[in-house]
Amino acid sequence: MEVNEKIAIDHGLKKEEFKKICDLLKRTPNITELGIFSAMWNEHCSYKSSRKHLKNLHTEGKKVIQGPGENAGVIDIGDDDAIVFKIESHNHPSFIEPYQGAATGVGGIMRDVFTMGARPIANLNSIHFGSPQHKKTKNLLRGVVKGIGGYGNCIGVPTIAGQTSFDESYNGNILVNAMTLGLVNKKKIFYSKAAGIDKPVIYVGSKTGRDGIHGASMASAIFDDKIEEKKPTVQVGDPFTEKLLLEACLELMADNSIIAIQDMGAAGLTSSSVEMASKGKLGIELDLSKVPCREEKMTPYEIMLSESQERMLIVLENGKEKSAKKIFDKWNLDFAVIGKTTNTKKIEINFNKKKVADIPLDLLSENAPMYDRKWKKNKLPQKIKFKKENFKSLKLGDCLKKLLMHPNICDKQWIWEQYDHTVMGDTIQKPGGDAGVVRVHGTEKAIAASVDSSALYCHAHPLTGGKQVVCESWRNLISVGAEPIAITNCLNFGNPEKEENMGEFVECVQGITEASKYLDYPVVSGNVSFYNETKDKGIKPTPSIGGVGLIKNYKKMISMELKKEGNLILVIGKTEGHLEQTIFAREILSEKKGPPPEINLFNEKNNGLTISKLIKDNLIESCHDISLGGILIAASKMCIKSTKGIKINNLKNLINKFEYFFSEDQGRYLVEINKDNFKKVEKVFIDNSVHFDELGVVNNDKFLFSDEINLSIEDLIKAYKDWLKKYMVN
């Protein structure tokens, strides 16, 4: 096939990009070379619209071993232990084929982690769907959840936490973000940088098929009515093979045979070979006729672009081929020597004794496009003045029950009960709390992890929203007694060629950077997902933040369940009564305008560190951060978790009660303390200039406030737990 401009455009390249390729090569590329360029120059692999801004992220910290640029980030948790973790998107495939799209998203992120020598110990996810009334939402939700559970459960890694939301902006483009944590000895971390000349390049895992071709390029595609035609671009996963691959790779890693290792993820053999050689400033020569294929007459183009799952590329020490093959034979996996490292700084590809591609590697990496796209600054919306008449007919109890039933607040047990969250036997806080927690096996340490996003805040004002989602992650880890260490991010946005969308991205990144730097909570890995739109309608900006923290002694872990009748409940942090962009304003007052809650980074840090000190001193019985829905929602969840109640005090100097109970002011927590410790706790708060209110007292079975709320725990449970179950059954 003779390559021309039209064929290049069909591959997702711009007209000017194709011209640049021809100029750099000083010739027209053949079809295999064009396929390689299209894969390496798309958004997913080259980050051509985002690289300029991602460079500004805060990525360094005392406990950071590896920041962005590798398969995953790595942090030090002491005693030569390290945690490897990353979050990544699989949005487009999951919308086209929800089961396989979600399943292979989980498989892909786990390979990123164990590629670095780590055994996966926990999975998390952040999944976002269209309006519950939309005709596709229910089936997409069902398929995605089955895909996540099907893959993770089969490979035997617990899913310990997650987040689910519904919004009409996802009607035509759902989001599926998967996160994995792995445990590794920090002296035995493996990297993807190739080294040495004439070192054997090894293909291991499953055979290569035609599934997933152009999967990476599809990440830069905009959907239309012909979306069903893209199903062949969705990869097909096999978790049982992945389990074998995991064990085989870890066994080989123990043998000190590996120089470099890379998962064949997006863009398959193309990206893995190019990235390994480029990082090592070497060349690589491949013989595609030696690649194990499961389909007949596959072309070099197809072999290089296939995204068949459960495959790895390895650079071995010379003379280690036989012993390595023995390991993979034992695990019934394909093993083939398909090439070698060279000093040419080129990728040279042969097939049936003919050279089919010859490209200098710097053309694929250093010379990949980097755009400084135009972007539009977002103004902070004007505040809304709510009038007394807005609240006149409202009853606190009715409002509370209605919000507990809301799809974005209600219990997600229907989802997480389909995931195995106890396999491996180290999960000590299951889904449904502020963060999932797993023990580091055989030690007193535990790892806490959460995943958060806030599209509504980011849509209203991206700079503030970017800060908020980092702070929310920080609070979730603080709430379980963990020291927050680092984050990974998955940045989901619309078309970057539109100034409004690019502005949302730039300012969200600025907000994330500002908050993570102030909190000493660096970004160590991540992913950007652009072009999340269908028929010119994009999603709300949705940065997902995966946070990881350390609990030095798992016996110090805190949960949100109320512990004892007579204990005091305190609100930590000042309540100003901010209602704009809250779920209360949207669902009860039908008001969608206004700014998101202000972020005060000093208060966030100061409040969080003060609570951490109290937890270490055994002065806090339970804790829950105040976020979506405000104080009453947070208090209700604590009651539901423990089947205990709270009697709320007749609070002095109360601002408008609806503003107090349903505002989403940031930097706040609910904590339960023993009344005998009140003076000690009070002193700590005063000494650290932390504002607190005495909210109420734990009781046995009622949720009470004056004569306005009188609800049994059964009433709260019914409101909170019924919606999703009924929705999925009907």
Q: Give the residue numbers annotated as catalytic, written as ranges.
A: 44, 90
What's the Cα-to-Cα distance from 520 to each of 466, 602, 616, 705, rounded to whole Å? 16, 12, 20, 39
Taking a C-beta distance cutoff of 8 angstroms, is the pair 574, 653 a contact?
no
Name the percent of the chain in helix, strand, coil, to the closest 5.
40, 25, 40
**Distance in angstroms (rounded) separating the CA atoms of residues 627 and 410:** 14
Please tell me the distance from the alpha carbon of residue 123 to that of residue 133, in angstroms, as a whole number.
29
251: tokens are 């066994």
Contact between residue 255 and residue 320 where contact means Cβ atoms under 8 Å apart: yes
Residue 252 Rama label (left phi>0; alpha psi -120 to 50; beta): alpha
Q: Is the CB of residue 271 less than 8 Å from the CB of residue 312? A: no
Say whether 452 sits in a helix, a strand or coil: strand
Secondary structure of 226-244 in the HEC alphabet?
Answer: CHHHHHHHCCCCCHHHHHH
Q: How many residues does the chain have?
A: 730
Tally of CB atoms within 10 A around 378:
21
- Strands of the 622-625 sheet, one edge to the other: 622-625, 669-673, 568-572, 692-699, 645-648, 702-705, 709-712
CA pair distance 707, 723, nearest whole angstrom: 27
DSSP secondary structure letter of residue 51: H
Is 506 strand, coil or helix? Answer: helix
Alpha-carbon span 347 to 274, nearest angstrom: 7
Residue 14: partners with Cβ closer than 8 Å, 6 or more residues away: none
3-state secondary structure of 642: helix
Pairing of strands 669-673, 568-572: antiparallel
Tokens standing for residue 258: 């590996």
Q: Which residue has the tokens 């487009």?
A: 92
User: Quick one: 618 exposed, middle or buried, by C-beta within 10 A (0-12, 13-18, 19+)?
Assistant: exposed
| Termini Cα distance of the chain | 52
- Residue 708 CB burial class (10 angstroms; 0-12, 13-18, ≥19): middle
Question: φ, ψ for residue 537 (rounded to 5)?
Answer: -110, 115
Joined together, the tokens standing for residue 471 give 């702070």
Tokens of 169: 């902006």
Q: Which residue type, as a one-letter code, is found at position 199?
A: K
Please work out, in degrees rounded to the nearest 5, the angle formed at the alpha carbon of residue 596 by the alpha carbons of 592 and 600: 165
Helix or strand (DSSP H, E) at 36: helix 31-40
CB 618 within 8 A of CB 674: no
Q: Which residue shows structure tokens 């340490």?
A: 445
Cα 439 to Cα 551: distance, rounded to the nearest angstrom = 9
